[in-house]
Structure 1
Amino acid sequence: MSLFVKQIIHNAERISIYSVEDIFAREALAYRELCPVFEDLQIEAGIPENERFKMVKKQECTKDVIILKNVCKKGYKTYYRMDVVSPKFAELAIKELARFHGLSLVLEKQRPKYFDEVFKCLKQPFIFGEAWNDFVGNVSKSSIKLLDDDKREKYGDKIMNIVHKYEDYISDTKHFSTLCHGDYKNCNIMVKEKNGACFEVLPIDFQILHYGCPINDLIYFIFTGTDQAFRKEHMENLKDLYYETLKNFVSNFGVRLTEVISKGEFDELFKSKLDFGLMINCFYVPFMFSAENDVPDVTEPLGDISFKTDERFGIRFREVVDDFIEWGYL
């Protein structure tokens, strides 16, 4: 049997904006608890196997090691982190995300005490404070420098004001809330292809698992893996696909999504949180575009971290800023 092993390094230098032990424990929880519970819920509801949310099966999960089946041996792979996703891949990934969030809604409704004790208590994992502010300020300012002079002068401060709302967005549980993946991007979604076309996806890497607003996951996926042309043509359709998939999926379990959030409320919430996509492009997406020969060292003081980004990031970032100017957020 081919296996994939993740092992925590306890003597690693502390990363000041999150706990290594905490995020490792979150991923272990996902494979140890969430995977079998989600599978049981879907079997009990009679969901056909090809319509179920799927996770990689664990062989062993402890506080020190996670051992998973190596699904690469079954033909799965990941796409390159800097690539713009294809419409087909985006549709598959959005549907799978909707099923993940839907199962969270179902679990909370069917087993509320268990859900509250095990999952609802999972707040976002980041440590907000001086180190976080230094990190976000440093990387965001480097991103803003990639703008043309006139736009940097006109919009730089406005962008930084939006960036500083990240803590409120990621911590929000006042509105529509479920378990969230937290890092739902193309290279954290394994894919199977047939004749060069993708037909099945499998989310991985649940280290940022937390209870929060699922719309953040949706926006995160869109703004880590698309360019301006893709968003112009497909973003609205993907938003609608997410809601319809979620509504239809939870109906199999007797849950009426419209009693949780109506389509109109969902659209308004999506619009109010859309600038989450600008935030992550300022300080997170640059890491996805780090040059192959200049991998950032996140154990060094993050307020001083410096690394080269591929030229494609500059293009992508300028397009994102242009979108938010056009949409009236800047």
Structure 2
Amino acid sequence: MGENVEAPIVLRDDLVQIINGVFKDENVESASMEVSEASGKGDNYLGKLYRVKASGKHGKSISIIVKCALDAKLIRDNFPVEILYQREIHAYSKMLPILYSLQNECHLPNKEKFYFAKYYDSITEIEKETLFIGDLAVEGYKMYNRQKPFDRQHLELVVKNLARFHATSFVLKQKNPTLFDQFSQKVGRKMEYGDNIGMFMEIAKKKCFDTIESAEIRQRVEANLEDFMGKFDGYLDYKTAEPYNAICHGDCWINNFLFKYEGDKVTDMKFIDWQVVRLASPITDIAYVMFSSTDEQLRSNLYTSSLDLYYNTLDKNINMMGCNTAECYPLEVFKDQIKSTMPFGLISAILLLPTVLCNAEDTLDMDIKPEDVDQSVYENLLSKKSKDRLNGVFRDMVSYGII
């Protein structure tokens, strides 16, 4: 990798060249570098993350995250890896800075802004796609334990920040519709997946019935799940929510939020991983969080209040940025979209919870061949913890009148 690298991990020469350029720009020249893996098994599925730390001559230090796309043919055959990395690079280099600048132009107080990691550079060459961003761990941010459901303070902080992000999107649409349209053309506008994922969805649909403890709940789920699964693409199609769609994060699973703490109190959060940022109903992000990152007990206390918190925060921020929420995203539209789109949370839970809650050594092998995808793949992921959480989702879907 170079004579100034003091680690057993060897990075490609093109990565080293950009890394050294970043260090030079940050005035950390002639640095000694330390390279380590920045993610464990089950933390990230379509990339390899490295942490590169450097110390300069005068005591200045820097740490960056290098996110490299996987080049395995089986993965690229089943996921649009090239598109996803192009999308994330666009998000970090163009879209997010513009949205952040809009918050500044509208004189939004710092405590009301949404934040993200610093962008340094990228490589777009096919099969070498790479993103270079700031290491949020240096600022004290860290992942939540994915096997634990959110508590009140984590959920409320995520809900507020989703509202702040969506609000900025709505304001951009109203104040600069041409620029919004340009951005919306470069984010996801429908669901993208290969045959492998489609087969996994079918198997998950069939096997999830086995986890349902209540005969009454099972009957309700069976009567509706086929319809919901059939609408899966529609939930993520931008046309479904027209004209009240927004730029959404799109992948609101628990590992894509990093939190900062003071003692036991969580004080801040930042979003990461913008590969599936999309134009859709804001409810898709809310449903994703609500039914994949919380449990039945927390929802029993906070489901309704979290929806109120989201809309009140959205309303406040849209108004503070000089626009009218009744025009951007009327309350009656919000309520209608909850009814029509919240079932997306059920599908998200069925597909995601077994993987989120399993141990690292049991995570899904992304290199699995389509012909090897069978019922055992989903069964092997179903721990008692995931079955319990899924039953809570099924019960809540019924009790909240979603199904």
For the criterion TM > 0.5, the same-fold answer is yes
Cα separation, 1, equivalents of 2:353 and 2:243: 26
* Shift in CA distance, 153/196, structure 1 to aligned 2, threshold 3 Å: closer
Q: 1:312 aligns with which of 381, 385, 401?
A: 385
Shift of 1:111: 2.5
Question: 1:45 touches 1:252 (CA, 8 Å); kept in 2?
Answer: yes
- Summarize the Cα distance change of 1:108–1:149 in structure 2 as closer, same or farther, 3 Å threshold: closer
2:353 aligned to which of 285, 289, 300? 285
- Structure 2 residue 265 is the aligned partner of structure 1 residue 192: no
Paired with 1:219 and 1:275, the residues of 2 have a C-alpha distance of: 8
Q: Evaluate the alpha carbon distance shift between residue 52 and residue 148 of structure 1 in structure 2; reply closer, same or farther with a 3 A threshold.
A: closer
- Between stretches 244-253 and 5-14, larger displacement belongs to 5-14
Pairwise CA distance, 1:3? 0.6
The number of equivalent residue pairs is 330
Q: Whole-Å Cα distance in 1 between the matches of residues 347 and 399 of structure 2?
A: 16
Matched-pair contact (CA < 8 Å) for 2:187–2:277: yes
Counterpart in the other structure of 1:324: 397
Shift in Å, 1:67: 0.8
State yes or no: 1:137 paired with 2:202.
yes
- In structure 1, C-alpha distance between the alignment counterparts of 2:257 and 2:226, rounded to whole Å: 30
Q: Which residue of 2 aligns with 1:55?
A: 116
Secondary structure of 2:121's counterpart equals: strand
Q: Aligned-pair distance for 1:79?
A: 0.4
What residue number does 1:90 align with?
Answer: 155
What residue identity is the alignment partner of 1:213?
S
Q: 2 CA distance for matches of 1:28 and 1:168? A: 26
Q: CA deviation at 1:13?
A: 2.3
Matched, 1:274 2:347: no
Moved more, 297-306 or 19-28: 297-306
Unaligned runs of 5+ in 1: none
Q: SS where residue 59 of structure 1 aligns?
A: strand
TM-score (norm 1): 0.92
The alpha-carbon deviation at position 240 of structure 1 amounts to: 0.7
What is the RMSD computed on CA atoms of the aligned residues? 2.1
Query: Do structure 1's residue 35 and structure 2's residue 96 form an aligned pair?
Result: yes
Is the counterpart of residue 160 in structure 1 residue 226 in structure 2? yes
Please name the residue that 2:236 is paired with.
170
Q: Note the C-alpha offset of 1:253.
A: 2.1
Q: Which has the higher contact order (CA 8 A, sep 6+)?
A: 1
CA apart distance, 1:4: 0.6
SS of the residue 2:143 aligns to: coil
Pick the structure with greater CA Rg: 2
Q: Normalized against structure 2, the TM-score is what?
A: 0.76
Structure 1: distance between partners of 2:101 and 2:394: 44
Is this contact kept in 1: 2:89–2:122, CA < 8 A? yes
Instruction: Report the secondary structure of 1:206's partner residue.
Output: coil
The CA distance in 1 between the partners of 2:393 and 2:113, in whole Å, is 34
**Residue type of the alignment partner of 2:278:** H
Match of 2:133 among 68, 74, 81: 68
